[in-house]
Amino acid sequence: MKKSILIAIVVSLGGFLYGFDAGIISGVMNYVTPEFNLTKFQEGWIPSSPLFSAMFAMLIAGKLSDIVGRKSVLIAVAFLYALSAVLSAFSISYEMLYIARMIGGVAFGAALVIAPVYIAEISSAVNRGKLVSVQQLNIVLGFFAAFLSNYYFNATFSSGTSTFLTEETIWRWMLGVELLPALLYFIGMFFVPKSPRWLFANHQKEEGLMALVSLYGEEKAALEAKAITLSLANSTSNEKIKFKEIFKPSLKIVLTIGIILGILQQITGINAIYYYATAIFKQTGIGTDASFASGILLSFTTVVFTVIAMFLIDKMGRRPLLLIGVGGIAVSMLLCAYGFKNATYKITAGALTKLSPADIAKIDVLGDTVFTSDVAFKNAMKTALGDQVYAKHEGDILEAATSMNATLVLIGVLGFIACFAFSLGPVMWVMLSELFPTKYRGLMIGFVGFLNGLISWLVTQIFPWELATIGNAFTFLMYGVIAVVGFLILLKKLPETKGKTLEQIELDLVSK
Cβ–Cβ under 8 Å, residues 196 and 212: yes
Cβ–Cβ under 8 Å, residues 292 and 170: no
For residue 421, which amino acid is it?
A
Whole-angstrom distance, CA of residue 239 vs CA of residue 221: 28
Per-residue pLDDT tens listing for the chain (512 residues): 577 788 888 998 988 998 898 888 888 988 898 888 888 889 889 998 998 998 888 888 878 888 888 889 999 999 999 999 999 999 999 999 999 999 999 998 899 888 888 887 887 767 777 777 787 788 888 988 998 998 889 888 888 777 788 888 999 999 999 999 999 999 999 988 888 888 888 888 888 888 888 777 777 778 778 777 776 776 544 456 777 888 888 888 889 999 999 999 999 988 888 777 777 887 887 766 777 778 788 888 988 998 888 888 888 888 999 999 999 999 999 999 999 999 998 887 666 767 778 888 888 777 778 898 888 988 888 888 888 888 777 877 887 788 888 889 889 999 999 999 889 988 887 888 788 887 787 788 878 888 888 898 899 889 888 988 899 999 999 999 999 999 999 998 888 887 777 678 777 777 65
Q: In a 3-state reduction of DSSP, which class is residue 52? A: helix
Q: DSSP for 211-267?
A: HHHHHH-HHHHHHHHHHHHHHHHHH--SSPPPGGGGGSGGGHHHHHHHHHHHHHHHH
**What does the DSSP 8-state code read for residue 439?**
T
Whole-angstrom distance, CA of residue 510 vs CA of residue 512: 6
Cβ–Cβ under 8 Å, residues 27 and 154: yes
Report the sign of the C-alpha dihedral through residues 41, 42, 46, 50, in that order: positive
Q: Using alpha carbons, select from 40, 43, 17 the residue that is nearest to residue 31.
A: 43
Cβ–Cβ under 8 Å, residues 209 and 98: no
Cβ–Cβ under 8 Å, residues 258 and 443: no
Contacts of 249 (CB under 8 A, 6+ apart): 511
Q: Where are the alpha helices (DSSP H) in 90-189?
A: 94-122, 128-159, 170-176, 179-188
Q: What pLDDT is stored for residue 1 in this prediction? A: 56
Task: Output the pTM of the full model.
Answer: 0.72
Q: What pLDDT is stored for residue 238 in this prediction? A: 46
Report the sign of the C-alpha dihedral through residues 230, 233, 235, 236, in that order: positive
For residue 454, which amino acid is it?
L
Whole-angstrom distance, CA of residue 442 vs CA of residue 255: 13
Cβ–Cβ under 8 Å, residues 73 and 114: yes
Q: DSSP for 13-40?
A: HHHHHHHHHHHHHHHHHHHHHHHHT--H
Whole-angstrom distance, CA of residue 379 vs CA of residue 340: 17
Q: What pLDDT is stored for residue 512 in this prediction? A: 53
* Cα angle 33-279-481, degrees, rounded to a multiple of 5: 125
Q: In a 3-state reduction of DSSP, which class is residue 69? A: coil
> How many of the other CB atoms lie within 10 Å of CB of 419?
25
Whole-angstrom distance, CA of residue 138 vs CA of residue 421: 12
Cβ–Cβ under 8 Å, residues 143 and 22: yes
* 3-state SS string for 445-476: HHHHHHHHHHHHHHHHHHHHHHHHHCHHHHHH
Whole-angstrom distance, CA of residue 205 vs CA of residue 366: 75
Measured CA to CA in angstroms, residue 158 lies from 67, 161, 393 at distances of 51, 8, 14
Q: What pLDDT is stored for residue 288 in this prediction? A: 67
Q: What pLDDT is stored for residue 239 in this prediction? A: 54
Contacts of 393 (CB under 8 A, 6+ apart): 352, 354, 355, 385
Question: What is the C-alpha radius of gyration for the chain, rounded to an integer number of angstroms?
Answer: 24
**What does the DSSP 8-state code read for residue 410?**
H
* Cα angle 29-32-33, degrees, rounded to a multiple of 5: 75
> How many of the other CB atoms lie within 10 Å of CB of 98?
21
Whole-angstrom distance, CA of residue 470 vs CA of residue 457: 19
Strand 344-345 with 402-403, pairing? antiparallel
Report the sign of the C-alpha dihedral through residues 209, 211, 212, 216, in that order: positive
CB < 8 Å & 24+ apart, contacts of 158-165? 158/289
**Residue 283 Rama label (left phi>0; alpha psi -120 to 50; beta):** alpha
